[in-house]
Amino acid sequence: MPLPRFYRLPPDRQRAIIDAAKTEFAHHGPEAASYNTIIAKAGISKSSAYQYFDGKDDILGLVLSDVADRLRAKLGSWVPEDTAEAFWQRLSEDSAGLVRFLEDNPLDRALADAALARIPTGNEQSWLAAVIDNGIDLGVIRTDVNRELLTAASAAVLRAGDQWALAGGGHPDQIFSLLAGLWGPAHAR
């Protein structure tokens, strides 16, 4: 993460640095992005850059945190639904809204998986945890599977489904059919 001096910059200057870095990381990937290109596009000297960041990994952490915050803001808080039908409808609407956001924000889209992968597993996504809690309360989501495993598998299905939808996949109901199978009652072995 950035050094404390970065946070003393005016907000518009911070944003300009984040946006310059986001563009470089999105176009070249986190590994191939150039630290020198980032600081040049941000309009800061190399000596100034080291007053704000220890290196490229600090800037990457800042950018991915920003992307994760934007994704969480787009999803908002999950407000529990009262019926299974309302639950599935809301889940479908929220997912479609996220796909539209990623279509409209290609830099965020390019970095979304990397941003989500950096969120600690225990609190991976408070939104998803609230969805699962609501689904369990409604009897839509099974309880015979370890909660952490169920959350991780659900997150993977949702990420894959969003990528599939963005790539022009079929009808989004297929994603929710897959989730319903994952979340549904245990089957006899």
Task: Tell me which fold the domain 4-66 belongs to.
Answer: Arc Repressor Mutant, subunit A (1.10.10)
Contact 71, 47 (CB under 8 A): no
Residue 119 has pLDDT above 80, yes or no: no
Mean pLDDT across 52-76: 92
Cα 6–Cα 69–Cα 18 angle in degrees, nearest 5: 35
**Residues 107, 133: Cα–Cα separation, whole Å:** 31
pTM, to two decimals: 0.81
Tokens (6 digits) for 178: 């897959």
Domain positions in the chain: 4-66, 76-183
- pLDDT at residue 24, rounded to an integer: 97
